[in-house]
Each structure stands twice: as structure tokens, then as C-alpha cells.
Amino acid sequence: MQDKEKFVQAVQEGLNKGWSGFLWIMKILIPISFFTLVLDYSGIITKLDFLLAPVMGLLSLPSMAALPLIIGLFTGIYGAVAAMLVLPMAPEHMTLVAIFLLISHNLIQEGAVQGQAGINPVKATIFRLVTSVITVAICAVFLNPPDTVTAGAGLVTATRGAFAPLFQEWAIATASLAAKIFLIIMTIMATLQVMKTFNTIPYILRPLTPLMRLMGLENKLGMLWLTATLFGLSYGSAVIVEEIKESAFTEDELTRLHLSIGINHAMIEDPALFLPLGLAAFWLWIPRLIAAIVAVQLLNLWIRIRPAKTIVLSLRGITSLKRRS
């Protein structure tokens, strides 16, 4: 088969996989997004701040920070940024909120996406939340936020109007997001299939080897990690699902991958959303990258000592049985 025919066939096969991945992500994204819209409209989300308010002190944050955290955890970074714009918080407080939400945001939707892509969604969500709390607690030591909030404009609460205009706005935003996801996934899957057909992936992954070693990941996970890191969990997980159908990944490999990309994904778009608030770029990019490295390396350590621990426990059990006999 000539190279041109192989290229066309590879593109067609990649587009078919892309379409399958697109339909899969839409089946998750649309219903969960609509459910979140209803929760937001009902006011339930804003009423849930009492769940986080008691722990705000542990994160060196004022109680009002519970509002953007709740919004971000259930919806996403856009709503959280909108809330932060009208809250009289010090820059240090806003930085800590940003660090928390860059790791843990849109947990319902992204947890479901990760759940369909090879990891228990509860485990994935707990990983992210625990990492957020630990990372913010450590960063607070260096940022040394003030004990009082900054004087300024108080919290502005928008009056809720009719549901129909809100639904229309949601439908337009969802359609726009769907179009963006469609273009990205179709492009990625077609490109990946062409690279597979012409065996160029090893050459692309080779420069990533030192980075993958630092991240605690196998080199064969490089393309999947890079996709999620650049484009986010929704796009990345859709690609992962299609790749799992053809590639053999162990449970430990998928756990490491999802732990890494759950903490550190969409490295370009998400942190940039906080820049208009006047936050320092260092705190928006570096802490969660370090957190992802440390988390996966600790997981690798646990995986390495786990067999030895199992053997020790088994030997103890055998010794105990001999004593009883």
C-alpha cells in the first residue's frame, strides 16, 4: 500500500475513533452539566458553603472563601473566578483559592469522565481533594496570608431571573463547548492514528522520557499525559478511552496516569483564567505540578513496597499457624 493510501486510511480510522470518543464524552458532559445548572439555579450550591466554612481556617482562608470553592468544586473555574471578582479577599487568599481549585474543580463531571477512563471515580476525586488540602496548607506557610479580609466591595449576589433565559445561555455555551471538544478530539485521534500507522510515536516520545521519569510515569503513557496536560481531562480521557481499547495498560499504570492528570491538567487554559485577578504566575503553575510529581512518586513507592509487605504478612500468618498447630 502506498504512503498516500495509508495516510488516508489512517485519517479515516482516526476520525471514526474520534467520533466514538466525542459521543462518549457528550453522553457524560450534557446530562451532568444540565444537572449542575439546575443545582446552581435552585441556590443549593451557594447554600452548601456551611460544609466548607468550618475548615476554611485550616486552609488559612476566610469563611467567605467557601463560596468560590463550592462553586468551583461543583461547576468549574469560570464560576469561581466570577465569584472571586466580587469578594473582598486579600491577594494571598485568592492565590490559595486558585491553587485549591486548579487541582479540584468540576468534580462531578470530571470524576465521571475519569471513572469511564480506567479509575474509580471516588478514588480519583478523593485523590484530588486530599492533594488540594495538603498543597494549599503548604503554600499558605510561604504566602503567609493575613488574618483579616481586605476592605473593598462586598459580596454581590445576582437576583435569579426566569429559568428559560438561563437555559438558553447554558445551551449556547454547551453547544460551543461541544464544538470545541469535537474539533480537538477529532484532530487528536486522526493525528495519533497517522503517527501509529507510520510508527512516528516512539520518536516523539523519546524527548519526553526524562519528563515522564520525573513525573513517575511510563514512557508509553507520554501521549496520553501530554494530551490531558495540554487540553484537559475531558479531552484527555476521551482519548484515553479509545487508546485503552487497543493498548494494554495495567491497573497501576492507569492509576498513576489518572492521579497525575487529575492533579495537573489543562496547564495552559485553567491557570490563565486567574491571571486577570492579578495573581502571580508562579503560584498558578508550579505548586500543582510539584504536587503531581510528589503524589505519583509516593504512589510508586507504595506499589514497590506493597509486594514486600504482602510477603511479610503471609510469612507471619504461616508462622502463626505453625505455632497453633
Q: Print the SS3 string covering 19-67.
A: HHHHHHHHHHHHHHHHHHHHHHHHCHHHHCHHHHHHHCHHHCCCHHHHH
The mean pLDDT value for 20-45 works out to: 78
Phi, psi (rounded to 5 degrees) for 17? -65, -40
Asked whether residue 320 is domain-assigned, the answer is no
Asked whether residue 137 is domain-assigned, the answer is yes
Asked whether residue 194 is domain-assigned, the answer is yes
Asked whether residue 228 is domain-assigned, the answer is yes
What does the pLDDT read at residue 311?
A: 46
What does the pLDDT read at residue 264?
A: 94
C-alpha grid cell for residue 9?
Answer: 486510511
**Average pLDDT for the chain:** 82
What does the pLDDT read at residue 49?
A: 66
Cα four-point dihedral sign 25, 28, 29, 31? positive
- Candidate from 43-47, 210-214, 243-247, 310-314 with smallest mean pLDDT: 310-314
| Band of residue 199 on the pLDDT scale cut at 50, 70, 90 | confident
Q: What is the pLDDT of residues 125-168, one digit of tens each?
A: 999 999 999 999 999 999 999 876 544 333 334 445 678 888 88
Whether 171 shows a pLDDT value over 90: the answer reads no
Tell me the whole-structure pTM to 2 decimals.
Answer: 0.76
What does the pLDDT read at residue 234?
A: 72
Neighbours of 273 (CB within 10 A): 18
C-alpha grid cell for residue 139?
Answer: 503554600
Count how many domains the chain has: 1
DSSP string computed for 245-276: TTS---HHHHHHHHHHHHHS--TTHHHHTTGG
Asked whether residue 67 is domain-assigned, the answer is yes
| Band of residue 28 on the pLDDT scale cut at 50, 70, 90 | confident
Whether 201 shows a pLDDT value over 80: the answer reads no
Q: What is the pLDDT of residues 260-313, one digit of tens each?
A: 999 999 888 789 888 888 899 999 999 999 999 999 999 999 888 876 555 444
Q: Which domain holds residue 134?
A: 3-308
What does the pLDDT read at residue 321?
A: 38
What does the pLDDT read at residue 277?
A: 84
Asked whether residue 324 is domain-assigned, the answer is no
| Band of residue 169 on the pLDDT scale cut at 50, 70, 90 | confident
Asked whether residue 325 is domain-assigned, the answer is no
Q: Report which residue type is found at 315.
A: L
Residues 111/124, Cβ–Cβ less than 8 Å: yes
Whether 315 shows a pLDDT value over 50: the answer reads no
| Three-state secondary-structure class, residue 266 | coil
Q: What percent of the chain has pLDDT over 90?
A: 30
Asked whether residue 317 is domain-assigned, the answer is no
What does the pLDDT read at residue 151?
A: 42
Task: Enumerate residues 6+ apart whose C-beta is below 8 A from 181.
Answer: 22, 25, 26, 29, 234, 235, 238
- Rounded CA-CA distance 148/143 in Å is 14
What does the pLDDT read at residue 64?
A: 81
Residues 214/267, Cβ–Cβ less than 8 Å: no
